Structure 1
Amino acid sequence: MEPAEYADHDAVGLRALIAAGEVSAAEVEAAARRALDSVNPDLNALTLPLFEPALTADPDGPLAGVPLVVKDSGPMARGVPFTLGSRALRGAVAGVDHELMTRFRAAGLVTLGQSTAPEFGLNFATESRRYGPTRNPWDLRRGVGGSSGGAAALVAAGAVPLAHANDAGGSIRVPASCCGLVGLKPGRGRTPSGPLVGEAGFGQIAEFGLTRTVRDAAHLLDAVSGPIVGEKYAAAPPALPYAESIRADPGRLRVAVTTDAWSGVPVDPQVRDATVAAAQVLEWIGHTVTPASPDLTAEDVVEAAMLVVVSTGAAILRAPHRPDPNLLEATSRRVLSETQGFTALEVMAALDAQHRVTRAVGLFLTGYDLLVTPTIGQLPPPHGTLDYDDDAPGQSARSWIRRIFEVGPFTAAFNVSGNPAVSLPLGQSREGLPVGVQLVAAHGREDLLLQVAAQFEQAVPWSGRRPSISV
């Protein structure tokens, strides 16, 4: 199998070829390795040389033989370096598999490498001092978003059909928007966070992946969803497997749409236009669309997002080997310093803000089936727009959160509330850059998101778009 032929297939398509005996899993792996080697010099999206051999996996799993890369901020794979994109953690190696990694192995996914991420995942740009900038296959002068930026670049370029990603404030959806992918953030409790983490970011972090097709997202969610017994958050299982539910008609839905950021930051006109066009497609399909938005304040979203920042800092401070502050980027040093000074009353204030956001979103979605927004507020930013190592006086962790939310003001609210959300590649700018549109549903309704995503994929297909750097 040649890399170009390999890149024409999504994960489900590759698995079907392997199952039919038209190509072997070894041939697919060889093609994937050549594909990764061909695009990575341009993209700078891999942290390490490719694994030799690939990580072990069940040869009879539902996605057996399908190539995968995992992100350098989880899921940990036993024996693999795990540095969270930081120079300060160089040499750290994971001692156990994350439960999600266990499920990837059981699904038969062939893990070939590790993708780049910003330091500690606290950025919407994947441009760490450790790895340097990861470049966008649509325009090498622009960023890929973050924090799952390396994963997004490799999937968009066709080097792998899917990749692990996680999302604490938009880290699946923002790179999906920047790179033209399907980026599903599962709802709270849908995917596991253990065994070493009991409550990831106060319930605001979701583990999953990035794909090019809706059916791949559905099949991957079937393979990895469900909590570990005893986890604090657990979402009820779906009525049908997601791979089946995407073929079902969701019926006539009540859809709210907004293009206004809760913070009041300006939204690029091309991004607005893509969101309005998506709403028009929904009307054409037969859904009822109304301009409306949940009653949220930017300050509540920022305050609640500080729970993720503080939990990140606390995890680093509790680690067996404390990082050398001189090797940390400037914002990470501030995060560690402010975490040590964060009081119980401040934690309670942030939790109160989280509850206000959760109630506001929950109440809003009693009147609507879906909310449609832009994914980010602008086109993929040029490199250097979000400098995590900026050591200017007066900066703080909170001011950093406000800064990245100027680029991505729409995503974090739904980490705070725990609702499932997905970014779809529904727009394209005059410059040829992808523009993502976000759909949000009520708790437990990943099936509805995937059903509507499948309707979009049929009505306005995106599979024919290829970036300039591709296999």
Structure 2
Amino acid sequence: MSRVHAFTDDALAADDAVELARRVAAREVSPAELAAAAVARAERVDPELHAVAASYDRPRRGAAGVFTGVPTYLKDNVDAAGLPTQNGSAAYRAPVAARDGAVARQLLSTGVTVLGKSRLPEFGLNASTEFDGAEACRNPWDPGYSVGASSGGAAALVAAGVVPIAHANDGGGSIRIPAACAGLVGLKPSRGRLVDAESRRFMPINLVGEGVVTRTVRDTAAFFAAAERHHRDPRMPAIGMVTGPARRRLRVGLLLDSPTGATVDAETRAAVELTASLLEDAGHRVDSAEMPVSPGFVGDFLRYYALLADLVTTTGPLALDRSWNTARADGLTRGLRAHHRRSLHRMPATLRRLRAVAGTYASWLTKHDVVVSPVLAHTTPRLGHLAPTVPFDELIDRLIGYVSFTPLHNVAGTPAISLPMGLSVAGLPIGVQLSAAYGDERTLLELAYLLESAHPFPVVHENMVAATTEPAPPRKTR
């Protein structure tokens, strides 16, 4: 195993975003020095990681804010003035955006310095940042492995130490999956918590939540508190600034069975059970939980994802650029388009069932305050396992056997967070998911602080000996 990282004794050091902002405010370091260090780090490791989609000639400074001077990247599926929005696709040539989209404006409002854009698989449809005819984005923990998706470039840059925080978004697990693969904190917020990209208004059901990936819980907490000052949804309580665990004792559901029928591998299961034991040791009550949706949810979600792929390919010349050519889209996009067209007659019932999931989930959460589960059914695979060049039916089977626990929260519109709670025998991070009721990100952040303190998260430039996740001790029965 050969890890790839950029951590060194420069202006960035190994500091998180909160500490870098403090140093800027104290005039210990300048935003220009931080940006220059991050650019140098990217130049050093990106030839191997392939995580950067585009770069500004001169870094863009945001307004004064919580993260003034902290360098970052935007994901290449939102508009930022002066850069193209390529969406990871080779099917068209994106024009340079004339203005910032709503998501870029929200990120810049926190004070960050944007260096450029991070890579994603074509339209964020895959669970690995791989391409047909281009280099895959690689995992800093071992470049032979997937770094997840769709925010794979963002995760690689943060895990490798290029920047401490990067924009990400999540339409089926696209914050949580790469966070799990790269050993990061990744919170998918409630639907409507932050501003949406302009394209979301055309979705029959908006699956996508905007956020970030970070190396520390406090960076994620500080970002959401800052973003709420830019946009505040009155339909849910404010998160506010979360600074540590709460004292209240919670009912925790332990979920290990997936609606896809996928078997959770032993290392992932051990990480989840360890997390449950840590929560129980802290005084929370842990009981078993069952997935609140039927096995038919898998087919419904796949049909809806296929609908979204078909919308992209059909509207490409108008919505993206006249250079759009469906024949140049990758095999997964084209396969999903065909899948949707074969099942058009089933879409009305599919949408009706998916819209009912939010109510079903809310009823389920009357039994639990939070649920702990895997993020993924097995540890991150080697590159090629989920490549878009794999025959469509085989690739879908592999995705269903891997992405088993995240889509529920996109459909229900509820928050969920991935935390790095272990390392596999191969030395790769294992993510554990905590999920809560609509609007209750605060509880997830409070528990994340608790777990970060009880079980410090692995970092790529430390823990150089591969570690196993030890089986958790037997939990008390209540």
Give the 3 Å change call, closer, same or farther, for CA 202–7 of structure 1 in structure 2: farther
Q: In the alignment, does 2:70 pair up with 1:66?
A: yes
Give the 3 Å change call, closer, same or farther, for CA 173–70 of structure 1 in structure 2: same
Q: In the alignment, does 2:20 pair up with 1:14?
A: yes
Choose which of 227, 233, 246 in structure 2 pairs with 1:249. 246
Give the 3 Å change call, closer, same or farther, for CA 207–26 of structure 1 in structure 2: same
TM-score (norm 1): 0.90
Map 1:394-405 → 2, pairs under 5 A: 395=392, 401-405=396-400
Unaligned runs of 5+ in 1: none
Aligned residue identity for 2:237 = P
Residue 331 of structure 1 and its aligned partner are, at CA, apart by: 2.0
Aligned mates of 1:348, 1:177 — CA distance in 2 = 34
Aligned mates of 1:119, 1:99 — CA distance in 2 = 21
Q: Would you say the 8 A contact 1:70–1:163 is kept in 2? A: yes
Residue 463 of structure 1 and its aligned partner are, at CA, apart by: 5.4
Aligned mates of 1:2, 1:269 — CA distance in 2 = 35
Choose which of 103, 118, 126 in structure 1 pairs with 2:121. 118
Aligned residue identity for 2:274 = A
Residue 316 of structure 1 and its aligned partner are, at CA, apart by: 3.9
Alignment partner, residue 43 of structure 2: 37
Map 1:447-466 → 2, pairs under 5 A: 447-462=442-457, 466=461
Choose which of 251, 262, 284 in structure 2 pairs with 1:265. 262
Aligned mates of 1:64, 1:101 — CA distance in 2 = 15
Map 1:53-452 → 2, pairs under 5 A: 53-58=58-63, 60-73=64-77, 75-129=78-132, 131-200=134-203, 202-225=205-228, 234=233, 236-239=235-238, 241=240, 243=241, 245-247=242-244, 249-319=246-316, 320=318, 321=322, 323-339=324-340, 343=344, 345-390=345-390, 392=391, 395=392, 401-452=396-447
Aligned mates of 1:133, 1:468 — CA distance in 2 = 25
Give the 3 Å change call, closer, same or farther, for CA 95–86 of structure 1 in structure 2: same
Give the 3 Å change call, closer, same or farther, for CA 196–53 of structure 1 in structure 2: same
Aligned residue identity for 1:380 = T
Aligned mates of 1:428, 1:4 — CA distance in 2 = 28
Give the 3 Å change call, closer, same or farther, for CA 130–117 of structure 1 in structure 2: farther
Q: Would you say the 8 A contact 1:226–1:235 is kept in 2? A: no
Q: Would you say the 8 A contact 1:204–1:308 is kept in 2? A: no
SS at match of 1:436: strand
Q: Would you say the 8 A contact 2:106–2:230 is kept in 1? A: no
Aligned residue identity for 1:53 = R
Larger mean CA deviation between 453-462 and 13-22 belongs to 453-462
Aligned residue identity for 2:47 = P
Aligned residue identity for 1:389 = T
Residue 131 of structure 1 and its aligned partner are, at CA, apart by: 3.6
Runs of 4+ in 1 over 4 A off after TM superposition: 1-5, 226-229, 337-342, 399-402
Aligned mates of 1:428, 1:466 — CA distance in 2 = 14
Aligned mates of 2:37, 2:216 — CA distance in 1 = 20
Task: List per-residue Cα deviations over 1:207-253 (Å, max 9, x = no partner).
Answer: 11111111111111122248979xxxx56353451x2x333515100
Aligned residue identity for 2:382 = P
Residue 426 of structure 1 and its aligned partner are, at CA, apart by: 0.7
Aligned residue identity for 1:54 = P
Q: Would you say the 8 A contact 1:188–1:235 is kept in 2? A: no
SS at match of 1:70: strand
Choose which of 2, 12, 31 in structure 2 pairs with 1:25. 31
Aligned mates of 1:86, 1:151 — CA distance in 2 = 17
Aligned residue identity for 2:335 = R
Aligned mates of 1:200, 1:228 — CA distance in 2 = 21
TM-score (norm 2): 0.89
Q: In the alignment, does 2:44 pair up with 1:47?
A: no
Cα root mean square deviation, aligned: 2.4
Aligned mates of 1:3, 1:88 — CA distance in 2 = 41
Aligned mates of 1:401, 1:362 — CA distance in 2 = 29
Residue 309 of structure 1 and its aligned partner are, at CA, apart by: 3.2
Q: Would you say the 8 A contact 2:196–2:210 is kept in 1? A: yes
Unaligned runs of 5+ in 2: 1-6, 465-478
SS at match of 1:425: strand
Give the 3 Å change call, closer, same or farther, for CA 200–466 of structure 1 in structure 2: farther
Residue 197 of structure 1 and its aligned partner are, at CA, apart by: 3.4
Aligned mates of 1:346, 1:276 — CA distance in 2 = 39
Aligned mates of 2:173, 2:27 — CA distance in 1 = 39
Residue 191 of structure 1 and its aligned partner are, at CA, apart by: 1.4
Residue 79 of structure 1 and its aligned partner are, at CA, apart by: 2.7
Q: Would you say the 8 A contact 2:151–2:178 is kept in 1? A: yes
Larger mean CA deviation between 422-431 and 217-226 belongs to 217-226
SS at match of 1:371: strand
Q: Percent identity?
A: 36
Q: Would you say the 8 A contact 2:183–2:431 is kept in 1? A: yes
SS at match of 2:461: coil
